[in-house]
Structure 1
Amino acid sequence: MKKLILLFLLIPFVVLPQTPNGTTGVSITTSFVIPGGLDPGTFTDGNPYDFVVIDPSGPTVIETVDFNYDDTNGNTLNLVNPLLYNTTYEWGVWADGNDPLVDPIIYGPYSFTTLLATPLLVGPADAATGVSINPSLSWTLDASTSDVDYYIDYDDDGELALDKLTVGPFAASPQSIGPLAYNTTYIWQVRAVVNNGALPNDGEETTSLTRTFTTEIATPVLTAPANASSQSITPTFTWTLAGGTGGVTYDLQYHTGGGFPGTTVAGVTSGHNTTVFVYSTTYTWRIVAKKAGEADKPSSSRTFTTGNPNLLASVANPSQGNYAVGISVLPTFTWLPSTGATSYDLEVSTDPAFGSLVTLTGNLAIAGLTYTVQPFEQLNSGTLYYWRVLINGGVNDGIYSNSWEFTTHNGNLNFTTYYPYGTSVNLAWLLLPYTANVKYDLYYSDDGFLTYTTVPNLTNTFYTLTGLATGTTYGVIVRAKNNAGTVIISYSAAVSFTTDGLPTPYLSFPIGGATTYSNPPYLYWYTGTLFSGQYQVRYATNSSVDGNGELNHGSAANLALTSNLFTVFPAPLTAGQTYYWQVRCYDGVTYGPWSLVESFVIYSSTPTVAPVPYPSWPLGGYDYYINPPTFFWYTGTFTTGLSFQVQWDDDSDLNTAPLGTSAWFASNLYYTLGAALTPGTYWWRVRSSIDGGITWSAWSTTESFVIPAATSTVSVPYPTAPVGTIVATLNPTMSWFALTPPALQYRVRISPYSSVDGSGMLNHVTAQSSGWTSSTSIAYNSLPSAPPALIAGVTYYWQVQARLAAPPNTESSWSYVVSFETAAGATAIVPLVVSPIQGQPINNTSAILTWALPSQSQTHLKFDVEYSKSADFTNAVKISGVNEPFAKIDGLDKNSKYYWRVYSKNNNGSQSMYSSVGSFSTGNITSVEPVQQVIPANFELAQNYPNPFNPTTSITYSIPKDNFVSIKVYDMLGREVATLVNDYKNAGNHTINWNGEDNSGQKVASGTYIYRITAGNFVATKKMVLLK
């Protein structure tokens, strides 16, 4: 018999079926039943037998016992040692002495699974308090624990039957849950569940007993006061506490730098505001939450600074409180007394933290309750300032008052001019933005304003100081104030000047030995400073100077004094000669130092025989609408030393009592009559001289032009002023004359270009008309619907038209065109094209382009010239920086028409508008016999070809004399569609093409169109058809 591992107790029992057999949830101390009356073949070995319990997972023998089988009643066997929970076992009977793991079994085997153990809760202890809101829950479970999941059930309402919360499954203990609510009591339990579908007891569940615990109290969260300054000395403390508040009390703790706990106020509640603090003191505070049986929970800390005593009363002028605006830059500050204070320190700053202070005199230890900023310590205009006072002595000693802010009156005051001359200085200033009813005080000093002189209550923004000491440096300041003098708006910065003599001029042109083609030449200079006196020019043919830098050669001479920054020699100089020149200032008493010496050369190309001039414009009997007219010509080459004489008459025989003969004049290639001509046909001619009129060339060819008469039934007005003059204002008075009655109204048309259409109306794109007025004399800027403002240095062409004042408001023709120039000062001037200008043939591939300035600039001007074969100046050639009023161009194409224009510019970047456009044609200079175009005898407009057309047609027209030509296309409703020609054309036959596009470049629709030509008094129309 084998040795027993475990002992069994043999208990008689009634016959029962064998148990356990295939069951689960079996007790770990279960009894085993072997029934009696078994098949005799089962127990054949004879008693005793071995009863064995095996763990088949090993397999392992758990218990073995010998027993005698009771065939009648069977046997019931009990284990001496309990089995493991949640374990599947096998049991059976073997012959005594056999190995159950090897030998055959006699009875069985039968299997069963023990029940799952019940979890035993470990922590936290039942009814524990102060438990973390993320508690770690632990438990134990007797073996076996294989294939077991755990679930935690919990709730905060004292029971788990209805609405418990469950977390899991978990594989083992401990586990954390949460976060839970603070200071809250929870009930909990653990459930163990078998989770293995292959096991017979899959899904078996056991539940622990329940326990309770209460979570810890929360940490208070502070809400007020904030981390801020200027807090009340009785602040309201507020905070929040998450979760439950049962059993919780609060302490307020604060300190001023010594750390916590500091001062403690116990038993406070949120909203506490009965603790009184000290002014201008920084406090650090926190709230401590407390509950019996738990650790205290202090909040994080905050810091606040109590405010300052509210002492400030006003800032003036004008008297205002906090956030005042428009305050004087010499303000007066006023404050209230502090108990027991002996004095106050005033602080003013542009920094709200008062990091940097405005420097003031007498602002410390002020015994009174007011302070006014002193002159010359003024605050800045239009600036935001902050102010406060420091209390000296008394209950608030060393504490600042509250702070206020204010903004000074906006105003930027600056000197725009401080121009000394002699013992005087011209001063001008500007206050921005503009402020009405302002007065000014002017201060000047020669000792840095230790002492100063005041010129008070000025109403102008300029002043001249006189009687100053010579060679002395002065400082000057101006301040602006309101009319009453109570609000000081702004001080200017101090500017200084020295009355130490006259400026030395700087020579501008001609310098550096430059060749000048104008003779007599113009000389230009500048001073680099303001000077209102006169200038003296000295010149010589030798550069020798004395010890004072003055030209001292025997040829040296002075020109007449001038107040301009330029002068011209009174007579031509010697051609080819080099001249030296210098300038000095003169204030009426004293001459200043001479400038440096510069030189120039007079161009020399004087012909031996006076050339016959070529008339350029007007010619060919053309209608000339500018009256008084200007005659233009050219010589074909550039020469110096020529003079010219012009004759004009109202019949073609100028040899007998001509209407007018000019005096001999030098240089210019044009001449303007001094008075308007009456309507009619006129003839003119010109000749030249090399000796001022002693000998002369033959007269040029005689050319004609027409001053057209008015054709309207309404009286045509006649311009009277300004006509042919230079006006010193950009708002000249425009005057004209007309015969009345009936009552008339008038309008003005003006342009910087002189081109006109066939009716004599100014037609350049810049030309604009005013509205109607009944006045015959009105300032330009007062014209109804005034045209654009005039520009300095420009020649303007203008005319006037009348209409009946009463319906039907019939209009007159436009008057003839007159001109005037606006004074240039030192600005660029629009040049006047001189030659060639009206398409005349020059029969040469080189051309000399000449122009003139209608008025004299205060500075030297240069010129940029453009020329092109296209009237719109595409692919134009540009010649820049020309110093003289002419340019020679070479390499032109034969049989080509060229257009040219010019503008002026100065050294300061000022640039004039372009001149009007001149034109010329080169001709075929290589022909042995010139090809003569047949000039038609009559005006004619031919039918277009082809007609109908698509997409292009040609229109041919003939004009017997040079004329301005306009050809326009209209639809059948009379609306203008396209302008094909709008230009001056030479006599001859011409052809223009139309591609069916309107003025905006869009293709027009199929249909019938009318084209109309206007050339002088010739008007004709024809129809053409466009098919698509």
Structure 2
Amino acid sequence: MTAACTGSGVLALANNDSLYGWGYNGDGALGNGSTGVATNTVPTTVKLPSGVTVKALTAGRDHVLAIGSDNYYYAWGQGTQGQLGDDSLKSSPVPVKVYGLLQTPPAVPTLTSPANNAVDQATKVTLTWSNAAGLAGYQCQVSTDPTFTTSLIANDSTLTVQADTLTGLGFSTKYYWRVRSYDNGVLGQFSAVDSFTTVMVAPGATVLVSPANNAVNQPAVDTLKCSSATGAAQYHWQVSTNPSFSSFVVNDSTTDTMNVVTGLTASSKYYWQVQAVNPGGASNFAGPDSFTVMALPVTPMIVAPVNGATFQRADTLTLMWHRVSYASGYGVQVSDTVSFSRFIVNDSTADTMLAVTKLNNLQKYYWRVLAYNAGGANAYTSTDSFTTRIAVPTSPGLVFPKLSTMGIPRAVTFQWRPATRAEEYKIQITTNSQAYTSGDSLGYFKNALFDTTVSDTSAQLAVALEPNTIYYWHVGAIDTAGMSGFSTTWEFKTGTGLDAVNEPSGIPETFALLQNYPNLFNPSTAIGYQLSVVSQVSLKIYDILGREVATLVNERQSAGYHSLNFNASRLTSGVYFYRLQAGTFTAVRKMLLMK
């Protein structure tokens, strides 16, 4: 009880725990220490002992009984009949302690939820505590002030259960709370003070950044991006194949503003949306936007070597296949087992050919190719096979110019006999008979002046030799297994004329297309040809599939010896053909670009 009345006086307990009295003060019933003033028309303070406040009180006709915060009973007013219980028959205008009577207060509650210093609590929270059963009630105080002297959010003393639900709390605010119990009009001590902090305000909305809405040709592993949202702790991503999002490809959260989505299906359209989230709530979804994954390329077709091919090169073998639309690259696998349980090659390239080196001789290999792009990879081709050759060719025999001959034309045509199993021939020319490469078993010239590869048994250089100069030359034969040792080396000495017949006019008697030099080349090579009459000349370059890749000459030219330089820096490695047409004359030669 927080108020009581004597016969003609009133006493009341204020919020600041002070006790006030007013009205008739007969026998000191107002407890203000005065007996001379019979009536007080304004409240006066009851003079309790220092440090003692009143927890509960009741009153008779001219006396008052109260329970102090120290749990002792106090009485004041008329005491002539022992009403004050202080072992006397005297009245008292101030509270006196009732003799030997001590009130046992209710137990102090233990706060249970939320835990002390809890964070991210909802703005509607239920406070709970534990205590002995059977008490009359509880007082719960909540404040933003840890001393509870100001800013009381709740001060409820009508609670009969061990819980109090608060609503409408502020966002990102720290609150302090305590509880005390009461029973039989006696207030217990307040519990220890706990605190909790409410959640932050719900985040602002994000914006979808990339891919752009309705984007096409997206990769199968796509990175979705959104903008940062104010106050966001996480971003909730949803990706679906239908705009209603009745099912999900992705339904997860990240702390970042991007999400790498894997396992997307080629040629499929996807819808996506994002919302910002924090403990205070979630924003509206941004989107949905859509994007479509790139279509897969078709499976390529193998060109060379053909399936079941034999006598293939073991030193360097070029695998080739057709280019297919929408492919950004090709995966190539070579194995010595048909199940591809182990790999000789497991590589990728943007080109339509791949040079494979250091294969074993007389070995069967299996290979296959797939095409891929950002949308994924298509199936491998069916498995093809090839078998390498075991033996290198025999060494060729030289024919012309003969050993130790003099006056050889500077535009001489070198000739040699065919070598068994040879597919190509390497010719080297030098002016230094001691110019062999140290430790080379095949006998290469070191720093050869001319070093080229041709497919027939003769070669004419695109550039004339120096006059009156001794030269040394030899030829090696090449097949799929590698190269033979070079032939014996012959020497000869040039004369001053370009060819065997002295032609002062410098006009050749016949049309001819010379072998390019050097061959192999990277990226430039010289191509020479001769015209016996004025002609409309066309000189073009073709790839192995017969597609024209360059036009070097397309004009009318005078009779004579012609030479030009071809730069293949924009082409990929491989076999190319160059074709000369001059009037009715047509000739084709092969050259090999290796980068």
Name which one, 1 or 2, has greater alpha-carbon Rg: 1
Q: Normalised by the shorter chain, which TM-score bucket?
A: under 0.3
Report the TM-score when normalising by structure 2. Answer: 0.27
More strand as a share of residues? 2
* Larger RCO (CA within 8 A; separation ≥ 6): 2
